[in-house]
């Protein structure tokens, strides 16, 4: 029997999801395939791989699988936030997005899917004003030093940043390590994942919060991107 475009059974089986989650994942895939969805990938078969499968790879990280509260930064079309919220119905999700249009789509979609564990924060990350999350996720959002600065103030001590990345060059990796040290994080793992057949260079970078984040972080909106923390002579420059 051929596999239909909204058949996500293999993903449910791979990650041990029940039939209700499987049905809701298919519903999300249907929504992402609509022209109004804020994504450039609408073909169902392709979206199933690059959106759903890639997002669900986060379940391979213990910190995500066991989290009580997760903040998803720059959520865009609700990825990986909505996908993980379907897989983890007992976890509370805050999907952070600065675009009003995308916030509206995420909010409407979460209601259509019946997700009661999702709320949308329509704000810039630097202005969120919340904290105490067990995990912060970010997919295709920014460089590692920028993500460390964004995430650290939002995490409880012992919490984790999980960043979905493709290829990371030596400079970004070194700057990420330096930035992490400044804001109270420590890199714990770089996990290679293969979310779907043919995927290449997909990695999950995991940073653990080991110390309080100094005051002043994150800096005012835009500064983390304009002047990212970098490794210079063994120190991170502001």
Q: What is the pLDDT of residues 43-97, one digit of tens each?
A: 999 999 999 999 999 999 999 999 999 999 999 999 999 999 999 999 999 999 9
The predicted pLDDT at position 141 comes to 96
Q: Percent of the chain having pLDDT more than 70? A: 95
The predicted pLDDT at position 1 comes to 29
Regarding the domain with residue range 9-237, which homologous superfamily does it belong to in the CATH classification? Vaccinia Virus protein VP39 (3.40.50.150)
Q: How confident is the model at residue 5 (pLDDT cuts 50, 70, 90)?
A: low
Q: How confident is the model at residue 8 (pLDDT cuts 50, 70, 90)?
A: very high
Residue for token pair 């295709």:
140
95: its two tokens:
């999907």
Q: How confident is the model at residue 233 (pLDDT cuts 50, 70, 90)?
A: very low
C-alpha 1: how far from chain center: 34
The predicted pLDDT at position 6 comes to 73
More confident residue, 238 or 206: 206
Using CA atoms, how far apart are residues 52 and 146, in angstroms rounded to an integer?
25
The predicted pLDDT at position 4 comes to 58
DSSP 56-101: HGGGGSHHHHT-SEEEEET-TTTTTHHHHHHH-TTSEEEEEE--HH
The mean pLDDT value of the chain amounts to 94
DSSP 97-158: E--HHHHHHHHHHHHHTT-TTEEEEES-GGG-----EEEEEEESSS-HHHHHHHHGGGEEEE
User: How far lies 116's CA from each of 31, 64, 86, 88, 120, in Å?
Assistant: 17, 18, 10, 11, 12
Q: Percent of the chain having pLDDT more than 90? A: 90
67: its two tokens:
């989290």
Using CA atoms, how far apart are residues 44 and 37, in angstroms rounded to an integer?
12
The predicted pLDDT at position 163 comes to 98
> Is the per-residue pLDDT at 211 higher than 60?
yes
Q: Which pLDDT tens digit goes with each residue over 138-188? A: 998 999 999 999 999 999 999 999 999 998 999 999 999 999 999 999 999
> Is the per-residue pLDDT at 237 higher than 60?
no
């Amino acid at each position: 029997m051929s596999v239909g475009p909204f058949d996500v059974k293999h993903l449910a089986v791979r990650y041990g999801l029940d039939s209700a989650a499987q049905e809701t994942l298919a519903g999300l895939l249907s929504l992402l395939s609509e022209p109004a969805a804020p994504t450039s990938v609408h073909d169902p078969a392709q979206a199933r791989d690059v959106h759903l499968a890639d997002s669900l790879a986060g379940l391979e990280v213990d910190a995500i699988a066991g989290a009580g509260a997760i903040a998803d930064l720059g959520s865009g079309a609700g990825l990986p936030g909505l996908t993980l919220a379907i897989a983890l119905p007992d976890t509370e999700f805050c999907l952070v997005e600065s675009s009003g249009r995308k916030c509206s789509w995420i909010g409407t979609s979460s209601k259509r899917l019946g997700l009661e564990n999702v709320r949308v924060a329509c704000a810039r990350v630097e202005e969120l004003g919340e904290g105490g999350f067990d995990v912060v996720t970010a997919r295709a959002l920014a460089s590692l030093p920028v993500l460390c600065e964004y995430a650290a103030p939002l995490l409880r001590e012992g919490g984790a940043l999980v960043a979905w990345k493709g290829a990371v060059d030596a400079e970004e990796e070194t700057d990420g390590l330096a930035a992490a040290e400044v804001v109270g994080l420590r890199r714990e793992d770089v996990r290679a994942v293969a979310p779907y057949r043919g995927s290449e260079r997909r990695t999950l970078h995991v940073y653990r919060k080991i110390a309080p984040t100094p005051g002043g972080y994150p800096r005012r909106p835009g500064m983390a991107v304009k002047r990212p923390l970098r490794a210079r002579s063994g120190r991170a420059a502001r």
